[in-house]
Amino acid sequence: MRQYNEIKSRNPDTVLLYRMGDFYEMFNEDAKIASKVLGLTLTSRNHGGADNTPLAGFPFHALERYANRLVKAGYKIAICEQTEDPKLAKGIVKRDIVEVITAGTATDDSFIEEKANNFIVSLHCENDKVGIAVCDLSTGLFQVEEVLSSEVEKEIVRIDPSEILLADVQNHPLHTLLSENFRSVVISRFDGWKFSYDNACDAIQSHFNIVSIQGLGFEGFGAGVCAAGALLLYLKEQKKNDLQHITSISPFNYSEFAELDPSTIRNLELLKPMQSEDIGGTLISTLDKTSTAMGARLLKRWITHPLKNIDAITNRLNCVEYFKKDAFCRAESELLLKRVADIERLISRISFERANARDLIALKNSFSIFPKIIKALSGAPVQPIKELLGALEGFDELQLKIESTIVENPPLSIREGGMIKSGVSKELDEIIDLSRNGKQWIAKLQETEREKTGISSLKVGFNKVFGYYIEVSKANIDSVPDYFIRKQTLVNGERFITPELKEMEAKVLGADERLSDLEYQIFVNLRREIASECVRIQKAAEAIATLDVFISLGKIAAEYQYCRPILTESGDLVIRDGRHPVVERMNTVEQFIPNDTELIKNESQILLITGPNMAGKSTYLRQNALIAIMAQIGSFVPASFAQIGIVDKFFTRVGASDRLARGQSTFLVEMIEVANILNNATDNSLILLDEVGRGTSTFDGISIAWAVAEYLHETSGKRGRTLFATHYHELAEMALMYPRFRNLHVKVREWNDQIIFLRKIESGSCDHSYGIQVARLAGVPRKVIVRAREILTNLENMELTPDHKPVLARKHSAESENKDQTDLFSGVQLNVMDSLHSEIIHQLQNLDIDGLTPLDALNILSELKKKASHTA
């Protein structure tokens, strides 16, 4: 156990998978973890100590399956292999860690999602800035950015990493934020000194073989450089690899993209539905018609990073329009792309020296598709498409090299031969001939010896322990010639060798071993040659992914009659016949009702939408935000016309279920999100407010909702385009007071004491909430519905008690007969009139009589008279 303990001491935070022959063994606490997570039998063994050591293990060929489960359970695993041939070892076989696998450093297909990037993020704080380095080891993507500390949560949500790396220091400033908001993400620690600027610069310069980082565009990115350098060092330490497939590092300027805060990504269900882990019912599931995993990953990044530059958006729209209009070219290109492998991850495996011969054949087959794609799109009049096709040229020689070296259907293992074509190596061909001739001689030996000995049941066989042998049954032992040398005694016979057989065995087995070694070396040289073309292959992969996304968006636009949006800097948002892209696809029961929207910067900045629950207010709000996001990623949109003034920030205030588990009340969560909007919105933001103020009392709720709307209307620099859905009909009065405030309502038809939701948005406010009708539709018992109507009638008629309080309910006759039964509602009264009295008195006390004009005095008197009439 000395060797194990020494290796374990160097990797104490990992589950150590210790190779022993044909098994991986785990000991002590690692064994207990493995038993619990993997369901392995926990045993024990005495290794010379006083106590038994807990032990668990599994066969070496099951490594991928068990390692995957450990990583997905949140553990780091260290794979310890035998680093010398046991046959040549003197004493204990040498072993060492060959790789550490974590959630963010996994690269094998079994560990990671095909259609999602597997990001690891490194964070470093400097004053009020945080450097963020982002890497996907499976593709080689490496980016760096800097944000304000207040923006960190938003950026991490947008990146959606599997692992976050922090400096191993006490009281890390981001510890609380990460532990509370990213509980499902693995948090790893790394030596704090490796985050220093000088060490980070050295790491970056060494990796990219440059003398200065200044040429990388990192001016002013001090914290970002620290995060990036530390991440490079961490990845190399974990993977025991020089990471040559990370060929570039680029500053990521988040100011080029519209901001999406965590609430917006969640509430708009861009990537994940709010009520399920399945991606169905999301924007990504609606737009993803990609043919490659590379395209699917790129589309996801586009959705979470809407552009703000109109020229860049226009370039994307031009490409999408081409594929929307040319159905034949779209269909042909789509079929070709389906034949392209995930070359982005293939070249990563090749650079990691993990690729096998089948991977190289997949790459070769993909190269063979490139000329066909170029031919199919040669007539495209769009410049960005022409530039993408240029990245697919020049792979003929590499394709031919693979094709002339590797057999078309190679074995999975690269250590057992059978993968290199004849004619590649003269030495290899000679060894193959020797092996083939020797095996033919051995195959004929059985027939020859049967004839010579007269033993018709004599057999020539082979096993890995004894090599080749001649087997004779016991009944024929007396016929065995003298030149047979006994090798093994069996129950039913004997096994022999001959000098000639032993000599040929040495030739054949020696040839087989030399053949495997030589084939492996030829393969490794070819793999390294391909790895040297990593940059070109990565650019080709990026081009394929981009074409794939354009084709996917073009297909969606054609199939569902999307229109091309007009992007402007005007700040207006005008949509005709807008539809919710997800709801219209999922609802197969009824036809989706389209609606118009006009958010005009200087005319209708705030739209207040009233109407009952289930009428479609929330759907209307969300569809407008989704249409704007789709437009800014370069997609056509579900409408007959759309003019989108560029949105710089998207905000939504809907729901609170995600934070209730953290001990925060519904209303507190609501106010936190409202505060975020009010503090960070700009004149170019798009704001969705759904039922602000509903988590508190009616008067408080109305007051807060009114003040929020007023603030967004009146505060310079905060006048973002706002869609405000509410049940507070009192807010409709704001349209009389504020020039850029407009009322809308969801049209409802009443028929036979029932309501029919027409889903149509019209001008004006709704003066009924239809709450009781909605409760009835939801299945609330009839007795409750009838009682609610009685209470509502009393409130609407303003029936008062002798002390001027509204009566909610009287006792039923049946209840009055039972003197001991207390009526549920008898003590429930609203203090509405008390509030009115207090308000009148308060207003009178605060009047500045000396400063009032006669007209002001008359207006106030009239207002007080109206209020007093309600208390009479």
Average pLDDT of the residues in 249-254: 84
SS3 105: coil
Residue 870 has phi, psi (to 5 degrees) of: -75, -15
Pairing between β-strand 15-20 and β-strand 77-82 as defined by DSSP bridges:
parallel
pLDDT of residue 313: 98
Torsion (CA) 283, 289, 292, 294 in degrees, nearest 10: -30
Q: Which residue has the higher pLDDT, 659 or 94?
A: 94
Rounded mean pLDDT, 213-241: 90
Quote the distance between the C-alpha of residue 588 and its chain's center.
28
**Strand order, beta sheet including 141-148:** 186-190, 163-167, 119-126, 129-136, 141-148, 250-251
Q: Calculate mean pLDDT across residues 314-331.
A: 97
Domain limits, the chain: 2-101, 119-256, 426-523, 566-769, 782-818, 833-869
In this prediction, residue 27 has a pLDDT band, given cuts at 50, 70 and 90, of: very high
Secondary structure element (H or E) that encloses residue 624, with its range: helix 617-633
Query: Would you state the pLDDT for residue 559?
Result: 96
Indicate the length of the chain as a whole number: 872
Taking only the tens place, the pLDDT of each residue in 363-384 is 999 999 999 999 999 999 999 9
Strands (E) in 483-534, as ranges, are 485-489, 493-497
* Direct distance between the N- and C-terminal alpha carbons of the chain, in angstroms, rounded to an integer: 92
User: What's residue 282's pLDDT?
Assistant: 93
CATH 3.40.1170.10 fits 2-101, yes or no: yes
Tell which CATH architecture fits domain 566-769.
3-Layer(aba) Sandwich (3.40)
CA distance 610 to 727: 6
Measured N-to-C along each axis, helices 534-559 and 327-337 cross at an angle, to the nearest 10 degrees, of 140
Please report the DSSP string for 290-341 in residue order: -SSHHHHHHHHHHHTS-B--HHHHHHHHHHHHHHHH-HHHHHHHHHHHTT--
Q: How many separate helices (H) and strands (E) can be counted in the chain?
A: 29, 27
Rounded distance between C-alpha atoms, residue 553 and residue 562, angstroms: 10
Classify residue 823 as exposed, middle or buried by CB count within 10 Å of its CB (0-12, 13-18, 19+): middle
SS (H, E, C) 673-734: HHHHHHHHCCCCCEEEEECCCCCCCHHHHHHHHHHHHHHHHHCCCCCCEEEEEECCHHHHHH
Nearest to 633 by CA among 288, 154, 383: 288
Confidence class for position 292, pLDDT limits 50, 70, 90: very high
Contacts of 533 (CB under 8 A, 6+ apart): 398
Is residue 131 a contact partner of residue 223, using CB atoms and an 8 Å limit?
Answer: yes
392 neighbors 373 (Cβ within 8 angstroms): yes
User: Measured between alpha carbons, how far is 526 from 306 in angstroms, rounded to an integer?
Assistant: 41
* Model confidence at 704: pLDDT above 50: yes
Residue 812 pLDDT greater than 70, yes or no: no
pLDDT score at 839: 64
What one-letter code names the amino acid at 190?
Answer: F
Q: What is the pLDDT of residues 576-605, one digit of tens each?
A: 999 999 999 987 777 889 999 999 988 999
Residue 432: CB partners within 8 Å, gap ≥ 6?
422, 511, 515
SS3 for 77?
A: strand
In a 3-state reduction of DSSP, which class is residue 573? strand
pLDDT per position as a tens digit, 754-799: 667 778 888 887 766 667 777 777 778 888 878 777 777 776 666 5
Question: Which amino acid type is present at position 223?
Answer: A
Structure tokens at 56: 């668990």
Strands in 12-101 per DSSP E = 15-20, 23-27, 43-45, 53-59, 77-82, 95-101
Q: What does the alpha-carbon distance between residue 247 and residue 53 come to, in Å, rounded to a whole number?
A: 46
Query: In the beta sheet, which residues pair with residue 574?
Result: 598, 643
> From the centroid of its chain, how far is CA 421?
42
Of 201-205, 216-220, 360-364, which gets the smallest average pLDDT?
Answer: 216-220
Q: How far apart are CA 16 and CA 179, in angstroms?
A: 26
Lowest model confidence (mean pLDDT) among 3-7, 123-127, 315-319, 820-824: 820-824
Neighbouring C-beta atoms of residue 299, cutoff 10 Å? 24
Please give the sequence-ordered ranges of beta strands (E in DSSP) within 423-569, or none if there are none.
Answer: 459-463, 467-473, 485-489, 493-497, 566-568
**What share of the chain in percent tops pLDDT 90?**
53
pLDDT tops 90 at residue 850: no
CB neighbours of 789 closer than 8 A, spacing ≥ 6? Answer: 772
Distance CA(278)–CA(586), nearest Å, equals 14
What average pLDDT does the structure give for the chain?
A: 86
479-503: per-residue pLDDT in tens?
Answer: 989 999 998 889 889 999 999 888 8
Distance of CA 683 to the CA centre of its chain: 31
Q: Is 477 strand, coil or helix?
A: helix
Say what the pLDDT of residue 439 is. 79
pLDDT higher than threshold 50 for residue 822: no
Asked if pLDDT for residue 829 goes beyond 50, the answer is: no
Determine the pLDDT at residue 48. Answer: 52
Residue 508 one-letter amino acid: V
CATH class entry, domain 426-523? mainly alpha
Band (511; pLDDT cuts 50, 70, 90): confident
pLDDT value of position 463: 85
Burial tier of 570 (Cβ tally within 10 Å: 0-12, 13-18, 19+): middle
Average pLDDT for residues 831-848, to the nearest whole number? 61
pLDDT of residue 87: 73
Q: DSSP secondary-structure letter at 241?
A: S
Q: Which of 13-22, 407-416, 663-672, 756-765 shows the lowest per-residue confidence on average (mean pLDDT)?
A: 663-672
d(C-alpha 68, C-alpha 714), whole Å? 55
Q: Is the pLDDT of residue 653 over 80?
A: yes
Give just the sign of the alpha carbon dihedral 9, 15, 20, 21. negative
- Of 24-33, 42-51, 430-439, 646-655, the poorest mean pLDDT is in 42-51
Distance CA 750, CA 754 (A): 6
CB-based contact 104:88 (threshold 8 Å): no
Q: What are phi and psi of 315, to 5 degrees?
A: -60, -45
pLDDT grade for 67, boundaries at 50, 70 and 90:
very high
Name the fold adopted by 119-256.
Answer: Nucleotidyltransferase; domain 5 (3.30.420)
Q: Specify the pTM.
A: 0.82
